[in-house]
Amino acid sequence: MVKKTHLIMISLLSLFIVACSNDEVTIKDYSSVTILTGDVVTMNDMDPSAQAVAIKGKKIIAIGTASKLISDYPGAFHNDLGNKTILPGVIDSHTHIVGMGLEKIKVDLTGVETMQEMVRRVKEYYPNPESGKWLLGKGWDEAIWAEVGYPDRALLDEAFPDNPVHLDALHGFASLFNARAFEEANISDSINDENFLRRDDGALTGSVLDKAQELVKIAVPKPSIDDLKTAILTSTQIMAEAGLTAVHEANVTRDSMIAFEQLAIEGKLPIRIYAMVDGVDPVLTQEWLERGPMIDENDFYTVQSIKVFYDGSLGSRTALMQEDYSDDPTANSKIESLDRAYFDKLVADAADKGFQMIVHAIGDQGNDDVLETYENVLSNHPDYDHRYRIEHAQVVLPSFYEKASRNDIIASMQPAHALDDSPWAEARVGSERIHNAYAWKKMLDNNVKFIINSDLPAAIWRIQEIMHYAVNRSPLEGGEPWYPELTISIEDTLKAMTIDSAAAGFMEDTTGSIEVGKLADFTILDQNPLKIDAKKLNDINVVEIWVNGNKVNFKN
């Protein structure tokens, strides 16, 4: 009997060893698994909703009902979010977060309507500036000032004779400088450039448009790498608290590249960054073309695109239009911001080196030119996964939709711009062209790839505000919609802000939807945008975000 019992024990031990070698058994230790339960919106058409998501490490391992996941993963940490909504991490696919951070050290000029008010704000911010110190501000709206006449430096000269002053416009297409700033940059009244605006007597007003700004800005002291890192950390925290898990950062300069890369190596970035090389800098652009794309193995900092400006803005009447501006036929709208031959070569070189091109185009002729260049280059690269983007695509020709759809061009658009521009946009382009302006619905109806973003900080940018504008095309405080036939559904809006924006940055296989195997990036809201009155979208609040399977701590 003893011998027989011994054999039975050996047999049981053998079975135990075999069982323990089976992965299905060893994974029974689920203490490292987290289960989030709530109202899950997956943005996956095959399985659009759920009650729970299971996370292990940085990835999603299961999606389903709350009861099933809790049963399947006994011992897992259960985070019950109640009726709160779990979205895939929302992506803002066109930002300027470095600028946002740096603006914390500038005078806020948002909403100023007179030079007296502008000077008053600068004086309040810099009550006793040291002689020679540059005084910096941003936020006066060049579109509104263009209606009444661009600002003149006279009061700035009087108030700050010993300090150079640089006051950036809201959208970056104009700057105001005082006389001392012109002196620092060796700019005089004799300069031969029509983008330096003049008084009746030929003297410079101090207002400078478009690329000509760089001739003066070159004298403005650059922020240090540490300044840039501080600005980035400040802005990324703001982004996280606003519900964003990733941003596509436009026109990243050489020093900002260094700052981003250092923060990524240090593991300090709380959200993901998809960086666009500043194509305005030809030397930097060439260096990156020779270096090739940089794909971060941790998915926190990727450089795979180049951004350039093809034209200006509608507000300043520097967007490239096929026909004259309706409200000012004398406005110079026939000159590209970027030399066409250089642009054509850049797009071709980028395709050869594996870079995505991202091009700012506002006017209908500007958009058509960019489409033409894209099509020409793609004819020589038929198998290239290009993900070419046009940023803004604000006013387009009727032929735009078919051309863009045929070539898989992404229209990257900003709902807030439409509402910001609505008081004057139709005057600029007239009653016919306005029907192909800010035309999100026409993009979708004509199978144009389409993403939504903010262009922050120049426009209203919080995700609930963007949703409101896209779906309602009306002011946040209520009112009549502006061309309501061009509104889009909340479903299409969320898609454009999640999975399609992920695809616009080559990350649709890892982010943008809640699917097994993808990174655990979530935006948690207190209400489900799909289940509330469209007029209430701006009442939604962000509760928290998760990135890489971890809840991001908010400082406030």
Judge whether residue 81 has pLDDT over 60: yes
* Three-class secondary structure of residue 211 per DSSP: helix
Express each pLDDT in 315-346 by its tens digit: 989 999 999 999 999 886 666 778 899 999 99
pLDDT mean across residues, the chain = 92
Number of neighbours of residue 464 by Cβ within 10 angstroms: 19
pLDDT confidence of residue 316: 87
Closest CA to 55 of 28, 83, 35: 35
pLDDT value, residue 16: 40
Average pLDDT, integer, range 347-361: 97
The pLDDT, as a whole number, for residue 5 is: 36
Question: Is the CB of residue 260 less than 8 Å from the CB of residue 286?
Answer: no
CB 234 within 8 A of CB 223: no
Least confident of 103-107, 277-281, 467-471, 502-506: 103-107
pLDDT at 350 over 80: yes
Q: What is the mean pLDDT of residues 201-207?
A: 97
The percent of residues in the chain predicted with pLDDT above 70, rounded, is 94
Whether pLDDT at 95 is above 90:
yes
- Under 8 Å between Cβ of 314 and 173: no
Q: Which structure tokens are listed for 391?
A: 């940023």
Q: How many CB atoms lie within 10 A of CB 131?
A: 7
* Per-residue tokens: 545: 């975000």
Over residues 129-138, the mean pLDDT reads 94
Write the single-letter amino acid at 406. R
Residue 145 identity (one-letter amino acid): W
Q: pLDDT (tens digit, 9 = 90+) per residue, 213-239?
A: 999 999 999 899 999 999 999 999 999
- Tell which CATH classification among 3.30.43.10, 3.40.50.720, 3.10.310.70, 2.40.33.10 matches the domain 104-217: 3.10.310.70
Q: What is the pLDDT of residue 143?
A: 86
Q: Do 139 and 108 touch, CB atoms closer than 8 A?
A: yes
Q: How far apart are CA 364 and CA 433, in angstroms?
A: 9
- CA nearest neighbour of 36 among 72, 85, 102: 85
Among 468, 487, 486, smallest CA distance to 534 is for 468
Q: Cα–Cα distance between 99 and 137 in angstroms, integer?
A: 12
A 10 A CB-CB count for 217 gives: 16
Residue 103 has pLDDT above 90, yes or no: no
Structure tokens at 309: 């400006």
Q: What is the average pLDDT across 494-514?
A: 98
Domain ranges of the chain: 30-87+515-556, 104-217
Average of per-residue pLDDT across 73-96: 97
CATH architecture of 30-87+515-556: Roll (2.30)
Which has the minimum average pLDDT: 16-20, 51-55, 318-322?
A: 16-20
Tokens 């209606």 appear where? 147
pLDDT of residue 332: 66
Q: With 70 as the cut, is the pLDDT of residue 9 above it? A: no
pTM: 0.83
Q: Is the peptide bond before 88 cis (omega within 30 degrees of 0)?
A: no
Least-confidence region, from 93-97, 170-174, 181-185: 170-174
Instruction: Please write the tens of the pLDDT for every residue from 258-267.
Output: 999 999 999 9
pLDDT in tens, 297-315: 889 999 999 999 999 999 9
> Rounded to the nearest 10 degrees, what angle do helices 282-291 and 340-353 cross at?
20
- The confidence score (pLDDT) of residue 28 equals 74
What is the reported pLDDT for 13? 38
So what's the pLDDT on residue 105?
A: 78
Give the count of beta carbons closer than 10 Å to the beta carbon of residue 308: 26
* pLDDT of the residue at 8: 37
* Among the listed residues 6, 26, 23, the one whose alpha carbon sits nearest the alpha carbon of residue 14: 6
- Which band of pLDDT confidence, cut at 50, 70 and 90, is reported for residue 556? low
Asked whether the predicted pLDDT for residue 6 surpasses 50, the reply is no
Asked if pLDDT for residue 27 goes beyond 70, the answer is: no
pLDDT at 275 over 70: yes
pLDDT of residue 554: 82
* The pLDDT of residue 147: 85
Minimum mean pLDDT among 320-334, 401-415, 520-534: which range? 320-334
